[in-house]
């Protein structure tokens, strides 16, 4: 019997958008099982921004997505501990994910996973969480005006 290929993908997944869906669909093509590591809140604060939703809620949403077989929350103290637990055959990175020294650290720990890079979703202007947040911010004045007009 042929061994199933286990693929691991990672991300924050704070506001799910088409860029995330595309990334996870692409990652799933590399194997039979897709396990997604959702960044814990401490890591999100340190590397990106204050998380909008807590990690466990983000994990549940990600796990409900069609390409995902399982989602777990990563560790704050050692990013590679979860990789050692999952034992992926392939680690699929998003087009904009940067992990300096990733392959070297994997080798040091005896993890033989192949690292691949997924492409970028180009069919939408709102393919990144930051872009969505900026659009909401820019539209907030419109919502305020609508609210004021309703009450006047």
* pTM (2 d.p.): 0.85
Mean pLDDT of 27-55: 94
User: What does the pLDDT look like over 76-93, one tens digit per residue?
Assistant: 999 899 999 999 999 999
DSSP 44-101: HHHHT---SS-HHHHHHHHHTSTT-SEEEEPPSS-HHHHHHHH--SEEEEPTT---TT
Query: To the nearest whole number, what is the mean pLDDT of the chain?
Result: 89
Mean pLDDT of 126-150: 73
User: What does the pLDDT look like over 42-64, one tens digit per residue?
Assistant: 999 998 888 999 999 999 999 99
Domains of the chain: 6-121 (3.40.50.620)
**pLDDT at residue 143, rounded to an integer:** 66
């Amino acid at each position: 019997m042929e061994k199933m290929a286990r693929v691991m993908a990672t991300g924050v997944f704070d506001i799910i958008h088409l860029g995330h869906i595309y990334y996870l669909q692409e990652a799933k093509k590399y194997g039979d099982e897709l396990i997604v590591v959702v960044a814990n809140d401490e890591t999100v604060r340190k590397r990106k921004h204050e998380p909008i939703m807590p990690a466990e809620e983000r994990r549940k949403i990600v796990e409900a997505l069609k390409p995902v077989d399982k989602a777990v929350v990563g560790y704050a103290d050692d990013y590679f501990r979860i990789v050692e637990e999952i034992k992926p055959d392939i680690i699929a990175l998003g087009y904009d994910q940067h992990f300096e020294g990733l392959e070297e650290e994997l080798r040091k720990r005896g993890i033989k996973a192949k690292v691949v890079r997924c492409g970028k979703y180009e069919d939408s202007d709102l393919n990144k969480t930051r872009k969505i947040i900026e659009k909401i911010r820019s539209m907030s004045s419109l919502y305020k005006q609508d609210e004021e007009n309703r009450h006047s």
